[in-house]
């Protein structure tokens, strides 16, 4: 079983810390679908130190989400350490994660995120400083390297371990790749063989079968699911069931998808208010609708909507039309069968 420091998870499946996605509304749904560990979206260390209202909201942890990892980023050691102290002493997060994988220029230009991938000495110094300042276990999320010419994943993971880090998550792409191409699971395997702390593999896990293959190929201790869970928390549950029993649980029905989508929206409204939450839900609803018949037209409608009740009506009418179509198709099939 996956264990980070003294924090033991009930399974090996982890929700990735996705910016603009992993707020408490979605994290709680992921937890309800069984995720062993959920990770909060990254928060700026300097913003935590400055203590603005929006940042404090991002540090909120619902007890039902635990165990939870809260991720911070920054290039300045003093502010990163002070931010880690705030997370350690003023939040009920279980794990403090340091981001050294974000490829966004606004992050790397301040010597944070993926910029650390070029300097294992800095990784050691920064992680060691945070570890020394806090009581909660410290982990790092990283990529394989800066680009194809600078892949130092093994050295970087070893620096994390030497500094007292209790685990490392590795996205099998370089900063240069962003989210394109294929994740290199061989490098994840190399890291796992080079360190004794837990290694969580990330990248190109879109089916339960992918998760099992990653575990078998790399020997990693856990699998981190990111984009595969967007609008699809069932992926988490299906993966857990497949890893534990070998059973492939069926995909959800349209009814089930929309029910969870509305729950997600209502939780977001409770957090942010209707005006902000309904707009933020548009992208999530597009993910929930992905793959459903005739959903392109519905996506266009929801992109214009600003009110919760109207959004719900659009979604429920859409599901009702799908159910009616299924009934009609079943009736036609019965007629054809009787003629034959």
* Catalytic site positions: 102
User: Based on the number of CB atoms within 10 Å of its own CB, is 271 exposed (0-12), middle (13-18) or buried (19 or more)?
Assistant: middle
Quick one: which of 323, 206, 318, 327 has its CA closest to 262?
318
Which 3 state secondary structure label does DSSP give 13? strand
CA atoms within 13 A on the CB side of 305: 23
Three-class DSSP category at 165: coil
Longest pairwise C-alpha distance within the chain = 79
Q: Strand 95-100 and strand 138-145: pairing?
A: parallel
Cα(97)–Cα(78) distance, integer angstroms = 16
| Cα 230-236-238 angle, rounded to 5 deg | 120
Whole-number Cα distances in Å, 161 to 63, 86, 120, 164, 194: 29, 23, 11, 5, 10
**CB burial of residue 124 (10 Å; 0-12, 13-18, 19+):** buried
Query: Which run of H or of E encompasses 172?
Result: strand 167-174
């Amino acid at each position: 079983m996956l264990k980070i420091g003294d924090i033991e998870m009930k399974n090996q499946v982890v929700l990735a810390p996705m910016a603009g996605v992993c707020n408490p509304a979605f994290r709680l749904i992921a937890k309800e679908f069984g995720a062993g560990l959920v990770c909060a979206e990254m928060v700026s260390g300097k913003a935590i130190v400055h203590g603005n209202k929006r940042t404090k909201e991002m540090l909120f942890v619902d007890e039902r989400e635990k165990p939870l990892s809260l991720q911070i980023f920054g290039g300045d050691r003093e502010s990163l350490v002070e931010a880690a102290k705030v997370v350690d002493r003023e939040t009920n997060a279980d794990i403090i994660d340091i981001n050294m994988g974000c490829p966004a220029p606004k992050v790397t230009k301040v010597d944070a995120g993926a910029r650390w991938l070029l300097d294992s000495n800095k990784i050691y110094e920064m992680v060691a400083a945070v570890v020394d300042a806090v009581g909660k276990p410290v982990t790092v999320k990283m990529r394989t390297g800066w680009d194809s010419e600078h892949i130092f994943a093994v050295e970087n993971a070893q620096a994390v371990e030497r500094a007292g880090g209790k685990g490392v998550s590795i996205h099998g792409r370089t900063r240069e790749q962003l989210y394109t191409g294929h994740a290199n699971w061989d490098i994840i395997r190399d890291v796992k063989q080079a360190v004794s702390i837990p290694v969580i593999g990330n990248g190109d896990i879109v089916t339960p079968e992918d998760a099992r293959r990653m575990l078998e190929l790399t020997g990693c201790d856990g699998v981190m699911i990111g984009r595969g869970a967007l609008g699809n928390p069932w992926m988490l549950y299906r993966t857990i069931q497949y890893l534990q029993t070998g059973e492939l649980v069926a995909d959800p029905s349209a009814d089930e998808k929309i029910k969870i989508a509305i729950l997600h929206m209502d939780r977001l409204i409770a957090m942010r208010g209707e005006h902000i939450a309904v707009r933020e839900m548009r992208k999530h609803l597009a993910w929930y609708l992905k793959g459903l018949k005739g959903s392109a037209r519905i996506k266009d409608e929801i992109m214009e909507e600003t009110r919760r009740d109207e959004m719900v009506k659009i979604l429920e009418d859409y599901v009702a039309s799908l159910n009616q179509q299924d009934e009609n198709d079943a009736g036609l099939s019965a007629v054809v069968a009787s003629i034959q």
